A and B are shown apart, each in its own frame.
Chain A
Amino acid sequence: MEIDRRQTLLGLAAMGVSMTGVWATSLSGPQYFAASRRDGPGKYSAAIFDLEKGELTSIPLPARGHDIAARPASRECVVFARRPGNFAVSFDAEGRKPVVHFSSRPDRHFYGHGVFSHDGRRLFTTENDFENGRGVIGVRDATDGYRWLGEFSSGGIGPHDIALLSAGRVMVVANGGIRTHPESGRQVLNPDSLSPSLAYIDIETGETLETHSLAPALHKLSIRHLTIAANDMVVFGCQHKGPAWQRPALIGTHRRGEDIALIHLPKDTTRAMKNYVASIEVDIDGGIVMASAPRGGMAVAIDLASRRYLGKYSLPGVSGVAGSKSKSSFVLTTGNGKIVHYDPSLTGDRQMVVLSNDRGDQWDNHLLGF
């Protein structure tokens, strides 16, 4: 059934859910959500939506997008091409600013992720120096049409997701450890020497301050996505590139100066995740993490303070995850058109509310709340 997006996002009431009920435990939190998608006719775009008003704006993309970064002190977003793409597009949630297109340098491509400095003046993007097999962080001037300012090493191969720690001076990069080249698409070029790591980098000097690797036996566990939880705890999600009968833990945490610690979920749950975490985000308090496993059609929740597995939530095609406005609540998107609000603190039908169910929209890997 084709349902109008704006109407269905307003459809909470129609489903017997009062908005005040949904936000009853609201503290503060994201006003907007943004994600890339492929629509029914196969066109790519990025959209910004509001949980109450529905879709606010969307912009066409030349090819498949990936993650989106929000610029602080503005309503501006930048959507990045999925690797090994070259484009990035800046657009405004309220359509007040002109759309700005910019590209990676000819000998680089984007990895689909980026983050702004806290003052919103600089944009940092994970990029591939593909001729040299080197991960780099591109730096651009957001106040000047995203003019390229320079770059520094990502501290590893195949940098993917990126975030800033709370003080805004140090960034953490998930180096997936996988070498690729645009000529061979997404094919792994270093199958016998994958080297995933987390790298902490001073954004002012470009100096790599710390790098942390998994145990050598886990060198096929590619660290891809991360988020920053309470107390600057880095929570990361992995994709295992080894045989399917090996089922390593896919989620881990790290704090600077400490060792990486993997979180071991129940064996059956780990197995059902099919060695693949797509998105990982924390709730508004930074205490509950939710990670999506689209190949397993499920998302898992973990309480970070106790490192306790809270359970799994079955949702075919689930991929994008973002913390919503209340403690422990999340918004989830799927590759088959659903936007779902999930709040386990509510009961009955209000716990899981389908905000949109437009099968034409295939929401991409990530969802940004801002």
Chain B
Amino acid sequence: MNIARTWRSRIRPARLPENAALIACILLALAAPLGMPGRSHASPAPVSAEKLVHRHILPSYRNLAASADGMVEALKNFCAMPDGGTKAGVDKSFRALALAWARIEHIRFGPVTADNIYDKIHFWPDRKGIGRRQIERAVKSADRDVLDRRQLRKKSAAMQGIGALEHLLYGRAADRLAAGSAEGSFRCRFALAIAGNVSAMAGNEILPPWSGNKGFAAHFLHPGPNNPVYLTEKELFTEIVKTYLNGLYIVRDVRLAGPLGMKPGRKKKSRAAHEKSGLSMLALRANIEGLRKFFLSSGLAAWIAALEPGLDRSVLAELDLAIAHANAIPLSLENAVARPAFKSKLISMGFPLKNARDQVLQTLTKHTDLPLGINALDGD
């Protein structure tokens, strides 16, 4: 065969099929698509979207909204009296807010996907310091738009969420917040606008669609042919399983491996989320705790147990081991990486996280026909 000619299989000759009979043939063939023989679900799959919504998603988003409200109040007090011992309230509120998001940030479907809300709540990673530069530019130019949460919402995702707030509260220029100067006042009101923005997104744009019967919750709870998101229960199950698998992937391969400098092909360490506030290790633990709760409340644990008795306990033991490792590290993530004794604990955390993911993936791949292949999960 002439390979030069076959190369043209990608560079097609100028010839269009005009064979009506062939087209008719294709139409006929595709009108009754031939499904491939596949395995059926272990029936019925004990996954419960309703329990997931009511036991995990709604309470976690309510906690996020309440934490953001608390942040607003703490900042109001602090901005009114920066010298009055009000910083402790800010610190406490920021910790609550950052950890509230860490416990639910594995949910990457639903209202958070509208208008980039997910990224606007926490723009991470921001390896180029885009948020920091945009914030400092706004402060320098006294851009009053950033003091109004509605105007702020229209700006870059990097300068309007928890990461931006963290920069103002704990970044290099954080001491200017309480300086009593015009700049300090501006920074404080900017922080207040960010907190208000997060509060509005959580309370007005995420919670209502999850709470009512007409919003996203209706799509999530009632798959069917007229559902614009989930046509079948299988699609819903796939969303739930992928959320768990992707969540553990992000925790282990990005959040943990990045600061450890253990990402494949990348020796350079990347910055940990929430390192500026010293909350990086706690946030990582909260990520795992959130996924543990997701595993249980979604019915994924019960499903795994139904397919392979006892495997749910094994997966939970792995997640608990990872949490125990996190509890044994009293430092921020980057500080722990710098100390050999703690670094080895961090490396140890990776194994149970991998096991907790692989056990679920392998079991569901073996027993179900959910699209969990390498392309369906993340092709490119």
Report A's interface with B, CB cutoff 8 A: 28-31, 38, 63-64, 66, 70, 72-75, 82-86, 112, 115-116, 118, 160, 163-166, 168, 181-189, 191-192, 224, 227-232, 242-245, 247, 268, 271-272, 274, 276, 278, 282-288, 294-295, 297-298, 301, 303-306, 308, 310-317, 319, 323, 327-328, 334-336, 338, 340, 344-345, 351-352, 354, 362-365, 369-370
**A345–B376 contact, CB under 8 A?**
no
In angstroms, Cα B94 to Cα A22, docked, is 66
The residues in B between 219 and 250 inclusive whose CB is less than 8 angstroms from any CB of A are: 219, 225, 228-229, 231, 235
In angstroms, Cα B33 to Cα A272, docked, is 14
**B374–A230 contact, CB under 8 A?**
no
Residues of A within 8 A of B8 (CB): 166
CB distance from B128 to the nearest CB of A (A): 8
Q: Which among B23, B270, B375 is the interface contact of A183 at CB below 8 angstroms?
A: B270
Given A245-B228, A295-B371, A316-B36, A183:B263 Cβ within 8 A: yes
Q: Which among B7, B228, B253, B263 is the interface contact of A247 at CB below 8 angstroms?
A: B228
Residues of B within 8 A of A183 (CB): 125, 127, 258, 263, 266, 268, 270
**A230–B7 contact, CB under 8 A?**
no
**A231–B14 contact, CB under 8 A?**
yes
Residues of A within 8 A of B225 (CB): 268
In angstroms, Cα B19 to Cα A306, docked, is 12
Say whether chain A's binding surface is mostly helix, strand, loop, or mixed: loop
Instruction: Tell me whether B12 is interfacial, beta carbon within 8 Å.
Output: yes
In angstroms, Cα B373 to Cα A165, docked, is 33
Residues of B within 8 A of A308 (CB): 23
Q: Which among B23, B36, B378 is the interface contact of A303 at CB below 8 angstroms?
A: B23
**B231–A271 contact, CB under 8 A?**
yes
**A303–B17 contact, CB under 8 A?**
yes
In angstroms, Cα B1 to Cα A357, docked, is 28
Nearest B-chain residue to A84, judged by Cβ:
B265
**A184–B10 contact, CB under 8 A?**
no
Chain B 105-147 against A: per-residue CB contact (8 Å), 1 yes, 0 no?
0000100011010110001010100000000000000000000
In angstroms, Cα B157 to Cα A166, docked, is 42
**B28–A187 contact, CB under 8 A?**
no
CB distance from B369 to the nearest CB of A (A): 6
Residues of A within 8 A of B33 (CB): 298, 311-314
CB distance from B149 to the nearest CB of A (A): 17
Residues of A within 8 A of B378 (CB): 186
Given pairs A364-B374, A370-B7, 4 additional interface contacts (CB within 8 A)? A70-B10, A231-B16, A370-B3, A370-B9
Q: Which among B29, B268, B376 is the interface contact of A344 at CB below 8 angstroms?
A: B29
Residues of B within 8 A of A (CB-CB), count: 68
In angstroms, Cα B216 to Cα A304, docked, is 36
Cross-chain pairs A/B with CB under 8 angstroms, 10 sampled: A70-B6, A83-B380, A192-B119, A276-B379, A285-B16, A285-B17, A288-B17, A362-B373, A364-B379, A370-B6
Q: Which among B28, B231, B265 is the interface contact of A182 at CB below 8 angstroms?
A: B265
Instruction: Tell me whether B25 is interfacial, beta carbon within 8 Å.
Output: yes
Instruction: Tell me whether B5 is interfacial, beta carbon within 8 Å.
Output: yes
A-B complex: 4 closest residue pairs judged by Cβ atoms = A311-B30, A335-B373, A286-B12, A344-B29
Residues of B within 8 A of A247 (CB): 228
Residues of B within 8 A of A364 (CB): 374-375, 379
Q: Which among A63, A191, A294 is the interface contact of B379 at CB below 8 angstroms?
A: A294
